[in-house]
Amino acid sequence: MEALKRLSKTPTAIVGLILLVLVIAMALSAPLLFPKDPLGLAGRPLQWPFANARFWLGTDTTGRDIAAQIFHGARVSLLIGIVATLLAITIGIVIGAVAGYYGGVVDDVLMRVTEAFQTLPNFLLLLVLVAVFGSDIRTVTIAIGLVSWPAAARLTRAEFLSLRGREFVQACRTLGMRDRQIIFLEILPNALPPVIVYASVIMATAILLESALAFLNLSDPNIPSWGNLIGTGRSVLRTQWYVSAIPGLAILLTVLSVSLVGQGLNDALNPRLKSR
Amino acid sequence: MHVLLLALRRLAASLPTLLVLLVGLFLLLQLAPGDTVDALVAQIGGGDPTMIDELRRHYGLDASVAVQLGRYIWRLLQLDLGFSAIYGKPVSEVILERLPATLLLMGSALSFAFAAGMALGVLSARRVNKWPDTVISTLGLIFYATPSFWFGLMGIVIFAVKLGWLPAGGMEEIGAGYTGLRRITDIAWHLLLPTVTLALIFLATYLRIMRASMLEVMNLDFVRTARAKGLSPRKVITAHVLRNALLPMVTLVGLQAGTMLGGSVVVESVFALPGLGRLAYESVVQRDLNTLLGIVFVSALLVIVINFIVDLLYARLDPRIVT
């Protein structure tokens, strides 16, 4: 509660929250405001924004409504961001917790695997996964989750290393609790706050990764993704630059809102750092 | 000497990691539908089963997975990355052709991000919580949230299309036949926009870390002593604070080397630069998995080498590490 009160006092967090609520509202209202297929033909191609009252953000190269794609794109971006983040955080927590709690050989092996993932450029690994498993929207989301967990694992491991020797853990052991219970019910709740703050970074990166993949035409072509639209606009960049410009702004604002909320959370959970 | 030894030990510690990586990639590839022979046969337009079996035997694909894995690792140890069916030459040759452009782009982007991040971070820390600090921090947040490819495209619209100041893409003026200094300035001119594009995201992180690190160091006792003995604020920063505040920045360079390589895939595609990243993209589109894996391997090596250099630098900046 105290943390929530502090959160509401930081101006950056408020700006972030307002932006985030706006994006969520766009995502929720998309099927109501634009009930037709956003990827269907809507009108004459390449109409500038505000030129036609029916398409207030204009139409793209094939005559699809840009506003409809932006609203439906918000759904896709948020969904991919949330699912991929949950996946990455779950993998990271399990690996980090097991490595940090048991230490020794288990820790060594798991950390080698984590380092292997960290040595590889995220985006390259994502390309490999897409090349092998295809670019269906589910595959892409899972792939993004699979490349994003190492930092979360390291954070969890560090927390576990410092917590596993504490008295309350020893007390649990004396009580005869199982390792699984100690790890997930006793230590994890104490180790969670920094990981939750870091989730905002993962989500911001996940949205950016998907948009980059879609921009390169390697994501699912059958969903209205902001990155896809920017890629479409590339062929008419010299004259109709708005086709690429508008979805880019949408990505920028969404990622900005997520990282602002994350920063606000960080300030609220670590009040000592607030002066920085 | 001691420093080198320490860094070499760190380098040796990264070998198991590399091995894990290679085994993982190989197993991943086993999951991919179709192998080299399928790709070849598809390219020549079909073939009869006996020929396909013959080809499989020729490429050693009839052996068990374990044997193939052993052979694969053995080949990599000899730096043999296989053959690219699409480009019709060894993968290592294809990669070597593309490596210089990527190294140039990464090097210039890294230098720019580091220098600008340092300068802005110092400026921000000296005026902490005043308007320059707020402006710089806000800019940092916006840069961080901007997709680099979009930033590149908008840069092309403004500086190449509307203003006509900079070229829209490519590595150099094709067919101009420049040599010597003229060619170098031409390449620099072409790389200006891609460098800034790639650097911006990293600039955002660097300036934030630099600011935090400056604030941390400026509160330490030795800085108070330096002030107390009457040094000017400028001298305190350049002679005492900066070197200590740079340590986290140097760590970050090593940590983000991989991310920067990944970012160059997108930036090289936007600006049509003949680099490694663009090659990675092309090999995904053309399903040339041999080349793609080769790039992944070379990138991992590159990241390890960069971290080796960072270790050396780090020990040089902070002699306490060695002892």
Cross-strand bridge partners of residue A240: none
Q: Give me chain A's average pLDDT, please.
A: 85
Place of tokens 């997709």: B147
Number of other residues whose CB lies within 10 A of the CB of residue B268: 27
Q: Is the pLDDT of residue A87 over 90?
A: yes
Helix axes B242-270, B180-218, angle to 10 degrees: 140
Higher pLDDT, A44 or A234: A234
Q: Do B153 and A259 touch (CB under 8 A)?
A: no
Measured in whole angstroms, how far is the alpha carbon of residue B258 from the centre of its chain? 5
Task: Give the nearest chain B residue to A235 (CA atoms).
Answer: B153
Of chain A, the end-to-end C-alpha distance in Å amounts to 23
Q: Give me chain B's average pLDDT, please.
A: 82
Rounded to an integer, what distance in angstroms lies between the CA atom of residue A266 and that of residue A193?
Answer: 9
* Model pLDDT for residues A241-272, shown as the tens digit of each residue: 888 888 889 999 999 999 888 888 877 776 55
Q: Do A245 and B24 touch (CB under 8 A)?
A: no
Rounded to an integer, what distance in angstroms lies between the CA atom of residue B34 and that of residue B287?
Answer: 10
* Model pLDDT for residues A103-157, shown as the tens digit of each residue: 889 998 898 888 888 888 888 889 888 888 888 889 999 999 999 999 899 999 9
pTM listed for this prediction: 0.87
Taking CB atoms and an 8 Å cutoff, what residues of chain A touch B161? 237-238, 241
Number of cross-chain residue pairs from A and B with Cβ atoms under 8 Å apart: 147
Name the least confident of A221-225, A231-235, B171-175, B280-284.
Answer: B171-175
Q: Find which of B150, B283, B291 to mutate to test the A interface (most A CBs within 10 Å of its CB).
A: B150
Rounded to a whole number of angstroms, the distance from the CA of B235 to the nearest CA of chain A is 23
Taking CB atoms and an 8 Å cutoff, what residues of chain B touch A234? 153
| Max Cα-Cα span within chain B | 87
Rounded to a whole number of angstroms, the distance from the CA of A134 to the nearest CA of chain B is 9
Task: Give the nearest chain A residue to B293 (CA atoms).
Answer: A128
* Model pLDDT for residues A194-235, shown as the tens digit of each residue: 888 889 989 999 999 999 999 888 888 888 888 888 888 888
